[in-house]
Structure 1
């Protein structure tokens, strides 16, 4: 009798088990489709920054909704986290940096918002890395490993090429949030970990995203003090490598160099040359990066128009004429 009762309960549960299994399968299929190869081109290949800027918040919330149902899907974690970082950079911090002095309060509020968005994205990306490297009784999970304790390097050595995107976007979000608030000690103490992460990413795939890592290193090496890993000579090395890998068709390479190398050196002539080259980039030559080039060209135009704010020897009155 007990056997029959057990069999009856099992048979009764089968439809529910099948439904759960089917729902999970469908969710995985949807998640795979929305995060597969080329899915990001819908945003980065567009020629209308305002359209994309208006659409990304909805996309982020949609991906977050999917994540709530499928929390361990690596594609969703990568896409959602990177979208937070991209949106914060291109559509929150970027416009804030171009606000006038009379918009000080709005600019500062936007930067606080950008920092929070960077952190949200970074936390999601770290979840993805924790999924792949959860640790055990002897070793910590990825997000708790440190350079100081010697626990991060063994994990990084295990990583493969398909981890590079997670490393790149996690470091981009983390360092961008720190750049906004250099007095945030919790972020500052993680710079050695982020430096190790991006170095490992470069070892695994130096050509990731057509020179994206070299463009990152231009900013990294030129912006940080030497005690934190800054190195002007290496910034020059990666500038040349970025130009080579992008064939000179990335406006971001020129803008990054003008902003992070030429301005501190007060080298106006090289600053101007690089920004003019950024404006000369054919945005249709690389359709997958059309949007990024358009946004960087807007920044290049702004920096040229506002050059007197970057170079003390340029007089505003003369410039205005």
Structure 2
């Protein structure tokens, strides 16, 4: 499968740098097919075969990690060749954020304190990719709504909300990933002035997603907000009541099939309260989920359960006095 994917990607790359008008037409068709404009996307038929499951349904994370950079760079190359294509900008940004989360920040979380330099270097690299990702998505939103990026960077709630009123339901994907990328970068380096400046914009974008499409991505946006509300100081928008409501909404929408939500509860709710019993229960619930209950998302389930297992083995690093 890997060789076939690489062959397809190389073929598409050859189209990108071709000057032939026929090939340009083929390239544009490929761009629209691989990264449709938000307003052109149709609601997927849940019963129809989806080639994306070749990645999301793969339980071997190492295999996905080998091919992921190739796919990412394909999209980025296509975007460079057509910088005004919003679909390519959004997809490239999403891929950078996914790659950073799963294959850069994720593995770094397992490093011990004795490997601080290596861990810090990985986190800085992850932050760089998060920024690269959300800036590409913001550029697409700015193309659709001139002044969008300036508003988000203004740290002015009134300006941001005014701009967000222009967004349509089909913008939820871009808003979700841009907001997720910003919060991820901020969590790795809260003292970064640039991340701090766009923090309010990120939260408002995510809240807009919940307004436009409350069930988006099975509660993924609610989970991100739950983490933020639970961990951020009140001066930056933290609120434990809002965190609990967001967590319950995420849990409801996930239908109990996503171990990540239980991991979030253990880390964001139980650790601050040093709730040992709650921590154990959440981790056990995460590990008890059968990957076959959601075969199209085996990759995420496997990664989350691996982390849950590590948290169980290293509980004394999070719950003191055990």
Q: Which TM-score bucket, shorter chain as reference?
A: 0.7 to 0.9
Task: Please state how far the C-alpha of 1:252 moved relative to its aligned partner.
Answer: 0.8
- TM-score between the two structures when normalised by the length of structure 2: 0.86
Secondary structure of the structure 1 residue equivalent to 2:216: coil
* 1:163 corresponds to: 171
* 1:298 corresponds to: 306
* 1:29 corresponds to: 29
Equivalent position to 1:229, from 229, 237, 254: 237
* 1:175 corresponds to: 183
Q: Quick check: 1:260 aligned with 2:258?
A: no
Aligned residues: 290
Q: Quick check: 1:185 aligned with 2:197?
A: no
Secondary structure of the structure 2 residue equivalent to 1:71: coil
| Cα deviations by residue, 1:38-94 (Å, 9 ceiling, x for unpaired) | 564332221111111121111111111111112222221121101110111111111
User: Based on CA coordinates, which of the two structures has the bigger radius of gyration?
Assistant: 1
Instruction: Give matches, 1:32-111, under 5 Å.
Output: 32-35=32-35, 38=50, 40-111=52-123
In the alignment, is the contact (CA less than 8 A) between 1:49 and 1:291 conserved in 2? Answer: yes
Q: State the distance in 2 between where 1:81 and 1:308 align.
A: 36
Q: Which runs of 5+ in 1 are unaligned?
A: 1-18, 135-140, 315-321
| Cα deviations by residue, 1:223-270 (Å, 9 ceiling, x for unpaired) | 111111111112111222122111111011101111111111100111
* 1:3 corresponds to: none
- TM-score between the two structures when normalised by the length of structure 1: 0.86
Q: Which runs of 5+ in 2 are unaligned?
A: 1-18, 37-43, 45-49
Secondary structure of the structure 1 residue equivalent to 2:241: helix
Q: State the distance in 2 between where 1:110 and 1:84 align.
A: 15
Secondary structure of the structure 2 residue equivalent to 1:210: helix
Task: Please state how far the C-alpha of 1:186 moved relative to its aligned partner.
Answer: 1.8
Q: State the distance in 2 between where 1:39 and 1:215 align.
A: 26
